[in-house]
Structure 1
Amino acid sequence: MVFSEDNLMLRQLARDFANKELTPDLLDQVEETNVFPEEVLQKMADIGFFGIKIPEEYGGMGGNNMDYIAVIEEISRVSAVASLYVSAPNGLGGGPLLISGTEAQKQKYLPPLVTNEKKMCFALTEPGAGSDASSIITKAEDMGDYFLLNGRKTFITRAPLCADAVVYAKTKDADGKVGVSAFIVDMHSEGVSTGSHVRKMGLIGAATSDIVLEDVKVPKENLLGELNQGFKVAMKTLDGGRLGVAAMSVGVAQSCLDEAIKYTKVRKQFGKALADFQNTKFTLADMATKLQAARELLYSAAEAKDRGENCSALVSMAKYYASEICNELAAKALQLHGGYGYTKEYRIERLYRDCRVFTIFEGTSQIQQTVIARSLLKD
């Protein structure tokens, strides 16, 4: 696979930033406080990481998907939670605007995402609508001059930190046909509240909560895309988001392999290093091979998207395989650490916790299998 000079430079920039700024002490502090320092986020914004895929006319880099995954992979290799903040404006946050926003909406909402002046979240999941996203019950009623939204969203990443949210709700058109529409909701509007922060096993430092909507008035100009066509916007957005999760998975999986190699070289049992045992060598070889396969699948999917191909199935393959392999490598790396891997003294403990959700959010592995199978069986 051939990479452009700009892509390689961007990857090196992300790697250098992660190694310099995302120090073990900083990440330990994030774990203890559940807060990611705003000054570090601002440094990422100043470098341009929050606008990798945002066009230059809105303040971004105007990069492509290969650029995006290069940065996500390098950042997540050091810190998975840090990569969430890079992914959001380029993926689920800014994605719906890039896909279906009006020029006025793009001009208003995209530049502040790039500069970190504001944050935006993606609010689709509900207590009773996870994998079956079409079963959402949040409603938006057309009141003439505005829409009135009522409902509850759940597991919304960074919701307590965001100034705005893209909220999906059931709507009716003039003929009474029911569909799903997308709305840009000001999180400071009357009737909007966030629940208590969800206590998660991993990705500590990216606050997650419910969004509660009680008679929230949303201006007509904040309808995102066409009425009743929001579900299509959501699915297209998730395509890009899933590519980001695949890149996170590859980055974390590489870190798991790095930690396993480092530990087995110095840990001795029965008079020799663990790395000298054939079983260890075979385990590491298996890990490296599967990681490379996941990486190649990720790059293939990103290149296909950059060519403008309809590649939802390929993106799902990348997300499915990379996230599953990441979890497998984390488990194997922890096993090689033995009892020490179960303690917080070693990085593998955090990597193991952080990656567990990769097979769940932005579409479970089972949903990815459904997307892949549908593409195989269509007429």
Structure 2
Amino acid sequence: MNPLLEAEQAVLGAVLLDPGQLRQLGWLAPEHFGRPVHQALFTALRKLHADRHPASAAENSVPLSWVTDAVAEAGQHVRGLTASHAHTLASACPRPGHAPAYGRMVLEGAIHRSITAHAIRLHQDARADALQGEVEGALRGADVLRDVLNDLARRWGTEPRPVAPGTPPAPGPLTPPPSWADQVAEGEQLLLGVLAERPRSMDEVVDWLRPDDFADPARGEVYRCLGALHHRGEPIDRITLLWEAQRRGLLASGTLSPGQIAAICDGVGPGSAEWLGEQVMRSSVTRTAAVSARAIRALAENEALAPGRLINHALHALSPLDEVRTRWQVANGHPAPAHPAASPKGPPTAQVHAARARSTARPVSPPVPRPGSAPSPAAVRPLSRGHG
């Protein structure tokens, strides 16, 4: 059986056997459970406990009504939940006193699942923006993902901070739609032609446009050569650009060819360097967002990665997008949005300790008698059976 599914069942079984365990699970939310029926039952159990159900004050035995009322409450929101199902959940719990440890496992699975879902959504937003010539959806999706990471870090009890992974994830190749790729290539080629034909236009883009913003690395290297000539105050034309490319080893390595340089310098048409540069930046924003999203998804799908490391590695994967976003804001004459530091407020220390519970030795909990005295399909087995 799936270990995460067993952990979800064990948490619910622990609370069915011992309602007092809910006092140690205040940091665990219904949405952290993967199955809707488990979400509904945990919601019902929390509601009954908050409403001071008689079982909440029971000391020696748990009344059968605790199970039947929880099943009835949850059954209003989800189908298929029966008293026998609740009995199965109780039987799946080895020891109710270990509920915080089981809950931590559930939270760990929820962290991986939530980060994966938001990374997929960011990737979809980035591709949609690329096709529509926008960036707002991708940037908004990145902000949502960052907020999710900060919230999960507080729930897990760790400090959210970007940390580079020892071995970067290896997502598959990025394959943009052909029509979009052709449009991007045409814009980049036209911009380089304008900059080569009218070198003074470099002043319009040099402060915020970088070689890595070009989708084609070869065109990015041409822009690097143009920037070097501009920085040194040397004349720019087909010959000087070709010579600069040779000095940088780009011709010998096959990165560029004389024909590519000639095509850029001879194919110039009318255009604004600033406007064309903004289009290149727009493409860079959505492309970087897609790459970040795919890297984060690859991290989240690694079940062996601990939640704290996953969160911090995911924040690091968003860093390239932050840098591109800053320059995009500069290109549009707006100050870059500041990302506020994570709020120090979060769950109380006791809840954080519970969330980070390990398998440390605990005193053996006293047996919890099953609800009611008469045998019934809905009856819950005594805790002593789990200690055998």
Q: Larger % of strand: which?
A: 1
* Greater share of helix: 2
If the TM-score is normalised by the length of the shorter chain, which range does it land in?
under 0.3
Higher RCO structure (Cα 8 Å, ≥6 apart): 2
- Give TM-score, length-normalised by structure 2: 0.24
Larger radius of gyration: 2
